[in-house]
Amino acid sequence: MTTVTTDLVELLDDTGAAIGTAPRLSVHGPDTPLHRAFSVHLFDDRGQVLFTRRALTKATWPGVWTNSCCGHPRPGEDDRTAIVRRVREELGAEVDPDSLRLALPDFRYRATDASGVVENEICPVWTGRLAEPELMPDPDEVVEYAWLTPERALALAETPELISPWAVRQLPQLTRAYAVAASPTTAAPSDAATTLAAVDTLLRAELVELAEEWRLSAPERTVDVLGEDLPGWLTALVDDGGKRIRPTMVHWGHRAAGGGSTGPGHEAMIRAAGALEVLHVFALIHDDVMDRSDARRGRPTAHIRAAAAHREADGSGSAEDFGTNIAILLGDLAHHQADRLAAELPASMRQEWWRLGTELIAGQRADLTGAAARRRDLAHAERVSRIKSGAYTITRPLRLGALAAGADDQVLAALADYGRHLGIAFALRDDLLGIWGDPRVTGKPAGDDLRAGKATIILTLAEGALADGLLSADAERVLRRVGSPDLTDTEVELLREALAEAGVGGWVEELIADEVRLAEGALSCPALTADGVAGLTAMARRIGWRAR
């Protein structure tokens, strides 16, 4: 049991610098000064995360569910030491100190309890593992606790009335940290990081060679209107990175099939991963043109940027047409460079590359024609998500990596099963983020999918909600206007709120959880390597509950 002490907490100025101390029990009130704290989310060996319910006798937020443990480091005490101490005091358990990882170093919040007491903390958020799952919680601190799957825990952010205000704000930012913390201890994240570093090295060399070839073909020293020529622009987009899911899936497909870290197979795997990374730049550029998107990764899209350069130079003709045309050329250059990388792959991988590209274009065509035809049926939405997103992002990259390792039919079948389910989860998460994602996190405006009228499963579920009488007349009117280019921000917001209230977002979250479970189940194939299974398990959770 913990005892009441005169523990001191560190007081901070607005920059986070220490300016003094105060007794812990005297700090919290209606005008609580900014002070130092921590939050930790603890996992067990099965990948479950611990949530605790605050004791009913607590002065603030009594009876509220929250993350595993929170506390205040004492003056001069580092966070790791404070976490180990506080978990022992509050939960009667031991943390594995080596498992502690800083997930949100800059998290801070201010919140007021119903009683008027204020929390005002700079509160770094950590993840870690308990040395053993048995707890002996202090009843003055914790009235009950539960072990939750990561997906259930992350979904708690949708019920802010049931959990602490700090957990509400933390959870949407912890998708990736949860995936890593919940992954089996046999996973080797540094292994994938090594592959990505090798991909970067390859692409850097290839893009330097492209720039030199371009200089010989277009020797003028300056470029009219644009300023920077296309190879430099392409290099910046490739360097920008993004989530890098596709090259990572190539890596884990290779590892799961028994591929090594040297030799021709490894080199082919790196080349395929690099080709996919550049092909993805092509896909994003052309997708943004077709969707008329204004932003990507938090910056203006290529056609918007080129149009702005045209206006600034007072160019002749239409700035919008110029922007579209330059973006198409830039995308073509990316595709051209991706094909150059793939041209040196073994024959079986080149065939896979051709199929991947064909599916990608066919999926985009189906997306456009389905939107134009106002398709809302489930079969069409699933077909588009399977060939445009799932195959291109998960299944084909996995197969490219596995083929580089010389995979047999049993391995390829298991990876195909995994990829099919995880591809659906990926597409569903994309659909959710396209409507409800935070633009500050996703890097692109929310609601664009509604303006474009994309044939997503969310719109299929929206039709079901309408048939069940769960949408208002105003929401039905806006739903019928989805796909109209003049759909207003107000209408988009009205429909987003109506769909959320009807439970559409929750239904999609359940579908994602089901598909992730099915994907993980496909990894039981004995022909897959242990480290490959560990890496693919971690990737399934990362992809299923990502925030961008």
Same domain, residue pair 298 and 424: yes
Domain annotation covers residue 403: yes
Report in angstroms the alpha-carbon separations of 142 from 81, 104, 145, 343. Answer: 21, 24, 7, 61
Same domain, residue pair 247 and 150: no
Same domain, residue pair 261 and 125: no
Same domain, residue pair 205 and 100: no
Q: Which residues of 198-218 are buried (b: 16+ CB within 10 A; e: fewer)?
A: bbbebbeebbeebeeebeeee
Same domain, residue pair 195 and 83: no
Same domain, residue pair 380 and 454: yes
Q: Phi then psi for 490, rounded to 5 degrees?
A: -65, -40
pLDDT at 71: 93
SS3 labels along 469-502? CCCCHHHHHHHHHCCCCCCCHHHHHHHHHHHHHC
What tokens does 403 get? 């083929």
| CATH assignment of the domain containing 164 | 3.90.79.10
121 in a labelled binding site: yes
Q: Considering 160, 182, 204, which residue would you say is the last residue of a domain?
A: 182
Domain annotation covers residue 335: yes
pLDDT at 186: 38
The one-character DSSP state at 130 is: B
Of the pLDDT bands very low, low, confident and very high (cuts 50, 70, 90), residue 455 is: low
Same domain, residue pair 172 and 308: no
77 in a labelled binding site: no
Please tell me the distance from the alpha carbon of residue 188 to that of residue 538, in angstroms, as a whole number.
10
What tokens does 272 get? 């395929």
151 in a labelled binding site: no
Domain annotation covers residue 35: yes
- Dump pLDDT digits (tens) for 210-252: 999 998 888 777 788 988 899 999 999 998 767 789 999 999 9
Domain annotation covers residue 30: yes
Please tell me the distance from the alpha carbon of residue 442 to that of residue 447, in angstroms, as a whole number.
12
Structural domain boundaries, residue 471: 191-545
Domain annotation covers residue 2: no
Same domain, residue pair 302 and 437: yes
Helix axes 504-522, 409-436, angle to 10 degrees: 160
Domain annotation covers residue 241: yes
| CATH assignment of the domain containing 329 | 1.10.600.10
Q: Considering 156, 182, 208, which residue would you say is the last residue of a domain?
A: 182
Q: Considering 151, 182, 213, which residue would you say is the last residue of a domain?
A: 182
Any bridge partners for residue 20, and if so which?
11
Domain annotation covers residue 1: no
Same domain, residue pair 177 and 206: no
72 in a labelled binding site: yes
Question: Between 282 and 186, whose confidence is greater?
Answer: 282
Same domain, residue pair 280 and 363: yes
pLDDT at 184: 57
Give the burial class of 30: count Cβ atoms within 10 A of its Cβ; 0-12 exposed, 13-18 middle, 19 or more buried.
exposed
Longest dimension (CA), the chain: 77
Distance, C-alpha 210 to centroid of its chain = 31
- Dump pLDDT digits (tens) for 98-119: 788 888 988 999 999 888 889 9
Same domain, residue pair 413 and 451: yes
Give catalytic residues, as residue numbers: 70, 121
Domain annotation covers residue 3: no
Please tell me the distance from the alpha carbon of residue 141 to that of residue 125, in angstroms, as a whole number.
20
State the total domains in the chain.
Answer: 2
One DSSP character per residue, 330-391 reads: HHHHHHHHHHHHHTTS-HHHHHHHHHHHHHHHHHHHHHHHHHHTT---HHHHHHHIIIIIII
274 contacts 247 by C-beta, under 8 angstroms: yes
pLDDT at 332: 97
pLDDT at 462: 84
Please tell me the distance from the alpha carbon of residue 62 to that of residue 59, in angstroms, as a whole number.
7
